[in-house]
Amino acid sequence: MTSSLQQETFDCRKIFAETLIELARQNERIVVVCNDSVGSSNLNDFKKEFPDRLINVGIAEQNMIGVAAGLANSGFIPFVSCAGPFLSGRALEQVKADVAYNMYPVILCAQSPGVSYGELGPTHHSIEDFSWIRALTDITLLSPADPKQTKDAILWAAKANKPVYMRVNRFKIPKTTPEHSPFEVGKALVLKKGKDVTLITTGILVSRALEASSILEEQGISTRVLNIHTINPLDKEAILAAASETRGIVTMEEAITTGGLGAAVAEVVVEHHPTKMRILGVSHFAPTGSASFLLDHFGLSVENIVKSAYELVR
C-alpha cells in the first residue's frame, strides 16, 4: 500500500510542453533540442507551431548537448528535452565540458526521471542524476514536485542565464504546492511546521511525505515537511533549522542515496549541527517491476516513511 488518499494526479510532461509553447510565443530565442523524443516529450504541438525551432538530432545525445551549447553561444535559449538516463548518463561529459564549464544558459530537461520507466529496467532508470549533476557545481539542479512547480521552474530557467538541470516527472502525482506560494531557487518550501521530526524530500515523493506526516500527527508526532525543490544550491538554513528545532530528519528521494539529496543534507548536518537521520532512497540496481512497485521495494512507501520517522523519535 502506498496511499490511502484518492486524489487527481498529473503527468508533468503536459505542463512542460504547454509552458514551452507559451515561452516560445513570447521570445523567439526559445528553441528546443531533443533526441528523437518528440512524442514522449509531448512536443508535437510545439513542432507544429514552431517547426524551425525544434531540432531533433536523433538518437545522438552527446551531439544533442553540443548543438545546444552552440545555440546558447549564438544567443538562443535552448531547452534540451531527453529521457533522464541518457541526458545525465550518456551525455554527461558534454554536459560538463560544453555546458557547465562554459556556463552556457542551456536548460537540461530530464524526462521520465527516477524509476519512471519501471519495467524497462536499470538501463532506463535515471537514479544517479542527483549525484552526478551535484558534482558539477555550476549547474542549478531542480526537482519540481508537481505541475505548478514544473511550470515555475521552466519560467525561472528561461530567464536565469545559466545552466540548469531539471527533472520533468512522468509518474503521475497530485498537486502539493499551495497556489500562491513563490518559487524561490535555493529556498526550501515549508509545507508543514512541526517540532518532533522533519521529513525532507523532493519531486514525486512530496505527496507521500505529506501523507506520512498526517499519519504521524495522528500518533501525536509533530512533523515538519520540507520540499527541497532545489538540490543545488541547497537551502542550508532550512536544513539547520530542522536539525536544531526537531529531534531528527528523514530524507527521501527517487534516486540513489550515494551523493543525492540525503547525502547533501547529511553533509550540512554533520558539519554544523549533528542530529539523528534516516536516508531513504534507491540502494542498488532495480529488479523488474512497475514504478509504483519499485518505490515500495526501495522503502519509499508512506508506511516506511512513517516507520522511519517513528524510529527516530520513539
Residue pair 228/201 in contact (Cβ under 8 Å)? The answer is yes
C-beta atoms surrounding 276 within 10 Å: 15
Whether 27 and 159 have beta carbons less than 8 Å apart is answered as no
The position carrying cell 508506511 is: 303
Cis amide linkage into residue 233, ω under 30° from 0? yes
Beta-sheet pairing, 107-111 with 77-83: parallel
Using CA atoms, how far apart are residues 307 and 44, in angstroms rounded to an integer? 44
Of 152, 129, 52, nearest to 83 by C-alpha is 129
Residue 231 amino acid letter: I
Which of 272, 225, 215, 267 is closest to 246 using CA atoms? 225
Catalytic residue among 49, 61, 128, 184: 61
Exposed, middle or buried: residue 146 (CB in 10 Å: 0-12, 13-18, 19+)? buried
Asked about 61 being catalytic, the answer comes back as yes
Residue 76 grid coordinates: 538562443
Q: How far apart are CA 148 and CA 156, in angstroms?
A: 12
Contact 40, 14 (CB under 8 A): no
Nearest to 273 by CA among 246, 251, 305: 246
Kindly state the DSSP code that residue 38 receives in the 8-state scheme.
T
- Rg of the chain over Cα atoms, rounded to whole angstroms, equals 19
Q: Are 208 and 302 in contact (CB under 8 A)?
A: yes
Distance CA 38, CA 278 (A): 39
Which residues are identified as catalytic? 61
